[in-house]
A and B are shown apart, each in its own frame.
Chain A
Amino acid sequence: MVVTRHNPVHALLYLVISLLSLSVIFFLLGAPFAALLEIIIYAGAIMVLFIFVIMLLNLGKETAKQEKEWLKPKVWAGPTILSAILLAELLFLITLPNNTTSSQQTVDAKAVAISLFGPYLIGVELAAMLLMAGVVGAAHIGQHKKTVLHRFLKEEEPS
């Protein structure tokens, strides 16, 4: 449903529904910490970012009309067939070995935290550096716009 909507806001709403159902699946799998993170970060923070940008770009009915023109059956038939082949291969490979015993244990947040700050401390620091670089890069890219536009206007004025 997310990939076939024409209006971006509708697609976002369907994506939020998908994220919530995925979080319920995480809870069923015995990973309540991951379920909480899924709701808080994905459905909270990232969706707010998307909604903010969509509102900032002022995408509305015109975009939906444009999308309808872009999304013709001639366009999506070929990739869908290729992806269906990929899906069939995945199904075959997953259902091939039938000797797995389903034994699910609940992995609570304490074990995750102990393992996270024990052997995975380097990974945590790398993730922190990645987030820091993301913040700095986003600020830089967002700030760079004004100077570029200004220079662009300055160049256009004499000509």
Chain B
Amino acid sequence: MNPSVSIEMILLLAGLLFVLGIVGVIIRKNIIFMLLSIEIMLNAAGLAFVAAGSHWGQPDGQIMFIFILAMAAAEVSIGLALILQTYHQHKSLDIDTLKEMKG
């Protein structure tokens, strides 16, 4: 393996991806783009886990990555079903139209 990939660079990349995901969640009004940004943030967290696991030579990081993957799959399926539901009811993907959903 290439030893020139230092863990600090990987953690920097993970932080950058996480911040990009947060920017995407905050500035977009479309629900689909917010879900995509959440995927980016989950990827950043998984990248940090895998980097730490490979830094110490333990398989725990990849196990956490597998758990993150399973959680992302479940979250995407539920979220997309909810998006379909709201689109059929409101005919829009704007999250501001969901303000009437007070609870």
The chain A residues found within 8 Å of chain B, CB to CB, are 2-3, 8, 11-12, 15, 18-19, 22, 25-26, 28-31, 33-34, 37-38, 41-42, 45-46, 49-50, 53-54, 56-57, 59, 63, 67, 70-71, 75-76, 79-80, 82-84, 86-87, 90-91, 94-95, 100, 102-107, 111-112, 114-116, 120, 123, 127, 130-131, 133-135, 137-138, 141-142, 144-145, 148-149
Cross-interface CB contact of B83 among A53, A79, A114, A137, cutoff 8 Å: A53
List the A side residues contacting B76 at CB < 8 Å: 46, 49-50
Q: Which residue of B lies closest to A37 (CB)?
A: B69
List the B side residues contacting A141 at CB < 8 Å: 78, 81-82, 84-85
Given contacts A12-B36, A106-B1, A116 and B84 within 8 Å (CB-CB): no
Q: Which residue of B lies closest to A54 (CB)?
A: B32
Q: Which residue of A lies closest to B28 (CB)?
A: A3
Q: Does B97 contact A (CB under 8 A)?
A: no
- Bound CA span A15–B46, Å: 16
| B25-46 interface bits toward A, Cβ cutoff 8 Å, 1 = contact, 0 = none | 0111110110111011001001
The total of interchain contacts (Cβ-Cβ below 8 angstroms) comes to: 218
Q: Does B63 contact A (CB under 8 A)?
A: yes
Q: Would you call A104 and B54 a contact (CB within 8 A)?
A: yes
Of the A-B pairs whose beta carbons lie under 8 Å apart in the complex, a sample of 9, sorted by A's number, is A2-B37, A3-B33, A46-B76, A53-B32, A100-B55, A107-B57, A112-B66, A123-B67, A137-B77
List the A side residues contacting B72 at CB < 8 Å: 42, 46
Q: Would you call A28 and B5 a contact (CB within 8 A)?
A: yes
CB distance from B3 to the nearest CB of A (A): 6
- Bound CA span A85–B67, Å: 30
List the A side residues contacting B65 at CB < 8 Å: 31, 34, 37
